[in-house]
Structure 1
Amino acid sequence: MWRNIASNALTFLVVAVFLAGGVLIWAQSEYENAGPLPEPICLEVPRGSNMSRVSEDLVSQGAVSSGTLFRLGADYSEKTQDLKAGSFLVPEGASMREITDIITRGGASTCGTEVVYRIGVNSAEVEVRSLDPATGRFVELAEFDPAADEPAPEAFTEVRGRADTRYRIALAEGVTSWQVVEELRSVDVLDGEVEVPPEGSLAPDSYEVAEGDTRASLIERMRRAQDIILQEEWANRADDLPIESPEEALILASIVEKETGVAEERPQVASVFVNRLRDGMRLQTDPTVIYGITNGQGVLGRGIRQSELRAETPYNTYVIDGLPPTPIANPGRASLRAALNPAETDYVFFVADGTGGHAFAETLAEHNENVARWREIEAEQAQQN
Structure 2
Amino acid sequence: MLRRGCLFVVALLAAAFLALGWFAWSWWGASDVEQDTSFTVPSGASLTAIAAKLEEERLIPSAEGFLLRAKLLASDDPVRAGEFLLPAGASPAQILDTFQHGDVIRRFVTIPEGLPSVMVRDRLMAEPLLTGEVAVPAEGSVLPESYAFERGEARSAVLARMQAAMKRTLAELWAKRSPGIAVSTPEEALVLASIVEKETGVARERRMVAGLYSNRLKQGIMLQADPTIIYPITKGRPLGRRIRQSEIQAVNGYNTYTMVGLPEGPITNPGRDSIAAVLNPAKTKALYMVADGTGGHAFAETLAEHNANVAKWFALRRARGEM
TM over 0.5: yes
Counterpart mapping for 1:257-296 below 5 A: 257-296=197-236
Classify the secondary structure of the residue corresponding to 2:134: coil
Structure with the bigger RCO (C-alpha within 8 Å, sep 6+) is 2
Q: CA deviation at 1:183?
A: 2.6
The one-character-per-residue Cα deviations of 1:149-193 (angstroms, maximum 9, x if unpaired) are: xxxxxxxxxxxxxxx6x4210010001111111232222111111
Specify the alignment match of 2:155 in structure 1.
Answer: 215
Matched, 1:182 2:122: yes
SS at the partner of 2:156?
A: helix
Gaps of 5+ in 1: 1-43, 51-74, 89-102, 110-163
CA distance in 2, matches of 1:327, 1:274: 16
In the alignment, structure 1 residue 379 sits paired with structure 2 residue 318? yes
Q: 2:297 aligns with which of 345, 351, 358?
A: 358
Structure 2 segments unaligned to the other structure (5+ residues):
1-36, 42-46, 48-73, 86-99
Q: Secondary structure at the match of 1:314?
A: coil
Q: Percent identity?
A: 47
> Please, what TM-score do these two structures have when normalized by structure 1?
0.58
Calculate the aligned-residue CA RMSD, in Å.
2.8
Q: Distance in 1 between matches of 2:199 and 2:152?
A: 37
- The aligned amino acid for 1:325 is E
**In 1, distance between residues paired with 2:211 and 2:240?**
28
Runs of 4+ off more than 6 Å? 44-48, 82-88
Distance change >3 Å, CA 225–CA 243, structure 1 → 2: same
Contact 2:290–2:298, Cα closer than 8 Å, also in 1: yes
Amino acid at match of 2:270: P
Shift of 1:312: 1.0
| Equivalent residue in structure 2 for 1:345, among 280, 284, 287 | 284
- Cα pair distance change 1:79/1:258, threshold 3 Å: farther
Deviation at 1:83, TM superposition (A): 7.5
Give, in whole Å, the separation in 1 of the partners of 2:258 and 2:82: 57
Does the aligned pair in 1 maintain the 2:82–2:150 contact within 8 Å?
A: no
Residue 84 of structure 1: how far off its partner (Å) = 8.5
Distance in 1 (alpha carbons) for counterparts of 2:40 and 2:126: 27
CA displacement 1:172-231 (0-9 Å, x = unmatched)? 000111111123222211111111111000010001111111111111110000000000
| Matched residue type, 2:143 | A
Partner Cα separation in structure 1 for residue 82 and residue 181 of structure 2: 48
Q: TM-score, normalized by length of structure 2?
A: 0.69
* Whole-angstrom CA distance in 1 between matches of 2:211 and 2:247: 26
Pick closer, same or farther for the CA change 1:284–1:84 going to 2, 3 Å.
same
Q: Deviations over 1:13-45 (max 9, x none)?
A: xxxxxxxxxxxxxxxxxxxxxxxxxxxxxxx99
Q: 2:131 aligns with which of 191, 198, 201?
A: 191
Decide which moves more: 273-282 or 166-175.
166-175
Q: Which residue number corresponds to residue 367 of structure 1?
A: 306
Q: Say whether the 8 Å CA contact 2:207–2:281 is kept in structure 1.
A: yes
Which residue, out of 312, 326, 335, partners 2:265?
326
Cα deviation code 1:91-140 (max 9, x no counterpart)? xxxxxxxxxxxx9597xx6xxxxxxxxxxxxxxxxxxxxxxxxxxxxxxx
Residue 270 of structure 1 deviates from its aligned partner by 0.3
